[in-house]
Amino acid sequence: MNTKTTLSHQIPFSKPDIGEEEIAEVVAVLREGWLTTGPKVKQFESAFQEYLGYGQECIAVNSATAGLHLALEALGVGPGDEVITSPYTFTATAEVVRYLGAEVRFADILPDSLNLDPDQIEKGITKNTRVILPVHLGGRAAAMRDLQTIASAHGIQIVEDAAHALGTYYGGRKIGTLDSAATVFSFYATKCITTGEGGLIATADKRLADRCRVMRIHGIDRDAFSRYRVPGASWYYEIVAPGFKYNLTDIAAALGVVQLKRLDDMTRRRELLAHRYLKELQELPLCLPSSCGPEEQQSWHLFVVRVLPTARISRDKLIERLAEEGIQCSVHYIPLHLHPYWRDRYGLKPTDFPVSLEVYGQALSLPLYSAMTDDDQGKVIEALTRFLKS
Ligand SMILES: Cc1ncc(COP(=O)(O)O)c(C=O)c1O
């Protein structure tokens, strides 16, 4: 059978979980007529604050990239400064540092969590280091206690890239409530909740929050809704800085309000699916995600396995064979130091970050999303077993 031409049912790598309630909420915003940043964004920010539960300031933006940029800008990161982050991430994590004219210093990862290795961070610290920027890869928390110890010993700030980590817990607390300068979430279409595109900065620092609020909307000291719709509003405004256009729309926030209500249920579903993978793939030549600490919980944004060298099929061939059967996988990540821009900017060699390099050669992200059916997951498990079992 030529599966390439007869496939009727595709299993995507990821799929947004959008229900009738989300659709109704978006339609209501369209009917009401205030489409840009307004009451829905405020409602979303308040709901997020309540979800985090520690009184954090929440600033919605149109992407996590924007949120990371704003958080670093508000901390005053600029030329001459250095930010330490992982090469095992999406380029957004690091590119925002370059937006500000500061330099990125990569530190390698730990092979089990795929998160920053605290020893490598220590080695990378210089007198110019201003920020450590950990990524909670796939929704598994970075070693935050170690990072906090290092940061406070050197007077360095932490900004968390929590693009994958909505629903993740560390030390019994939700990511977004630890003692970092700021934590940034993503609501991109594949993430734990989605607003199509979107992001949010959570911070306990009122000054940082105020700066982010102003800089997300052109450096204007009040947004359009406050100028036209609130009681006593005035047309007058002042520009206080050369800001950005990073505000979230009310249309997007309408999705976010409903998605956030469903977050715990969706995380539970991801968890169930992840545990089934862990149970049913354990006999295969795969290195499966390791379990995390007792006070931790993963969001399971990604399910990254490593195809061991003992397998009778290579990682790349396996991806091809699965695709022929309509099963879409992905690779997280091609480490940043292998990409031309980062390689050339810092004169990096592939072996400069040996753990990232090795993991990249074996990594395979399996389909995992809350709307995934048991049947579809069964097909993925069956295909993997057929291709990998010797
Ligand atoms: C680790 C990580 N950081 C940052 C981002 C940027 O998120 P956004 O697309 O919301 O800007 C992504 C997006 O995929 C990501 O995976």
Nearest CA to ligand 1 atom 14: 90
pLDDT at residue 36, as a whole number: 94
Lowest mean pLDDT among 34-48, 214-228, 368-382: 214-228
pLDDT at residue 3, as a whole number: 47
pLDDT at residue 7, as a whole number: 63
CA of 353 to the centre of ligand 1 (A): 21
With contact defined as beta carbons under 8 Å apart, do 327 and 11 qualify?
A: yes
Q: Are strands 157-162 and 169-170 parallel, antiparallel or unpaired?
A: unpaired
**Which one of the listed residues 4, 15, 123, 191 is annotated catalytic?**
191
The yes-or-no verdict on residue 225 having pLDDT over 80 is: no
How high is the mean pLDDT of the chain?
95
With contact defined as beta carbons under 8 Å apart, do 109 and 157 qualify?
A: no
CA of 69 to the centre of ligand 1 (A): 12
| Segment 86-113 mean pLDDT | 98
Which tens digit of pLDDT belongs to each residue from 289-337? 998 888 999 999 999 999 999 999 999 999 999 999 999 999 999 999 9
Cα separations in angstroms, 145 against 134, 141, 153, 166, 171: 12, 10, 12, 19, 9
CA of 134 to the centre of ligand 1 (A): 13
The yes-or-no verdict on residue 242 having pLDDT over 70 is: yes
DSSP category for residue 77: -
Candidate from 59, 65, 192 with most ligand 1 atoms within 8 A of CB, to mutate: 65
Nearest-angstrom CA–CA distance, 171 and 350 = 34
CA of 188 to the centre of ligand 1 (A): 7
Residue 363 neighbours by CB under 8 Å, 6+ apart: 304, 305, 306, 315, 331, 332, 333
With contact defined as beta carbons under 8 Å apart, do 289 and 305 qualify?
A: yes
Lowest mean pLDDT among 19-33, 70-84, 224-238: 224-238
Burial of 381 (0-12, 13-18, 19+ CB in 10 A): middle
Nearest CA to ligand 1 atom 7: 64
Ligand 1 binding residues, C-beta < 6 A: 63-65, 89-90, 92-93, 135, 161, 163-164, 186, 188, 199
The yes-or-no verdict on residue 2 having pLDDT over 50 is: no
* Whether pTM exceeds 0.85: yes
Nearest-atom index, ligand 1, CA of 67: 11
Percent above pLDDT 90 for the chain: 91
Radius of gyration for the alpha carbons in the chain, expressed in angstroms and rounded: 22
DSSP assignment string, 168-220: -EETTEETTSSSSSEEEEE--TTSSS--SS-EEEEES-HHHHHHHHHHTBTTB
- Is residue 191 part of the annotated active site? The answer reads yes
The yes-or-no verdict on residue 205 having pLDDT over 80 is: yes
Which tens digit of pLDDT belongs to each residue from 101-160? 999 999 999 999 999 999 999 999 999 999 999 999 999 999 999 999 999 999 999 999
pLDDT at residue 64, as a whole number: 98
3-state class (DSSP) for residue 159: strand
For the chain, domains (ranges, CATH) are: 20-261 (3.40.640.10), 264-388 (3.90.1150.10)
Residue 61 pLDDT level (bands cut at 50, 70, 90): very high
Nearest-atom index, ligand 1, CA of 66: 11
Which tens digit of pLDDT belongs to each residue from 243-256? 999 999 999 999 99
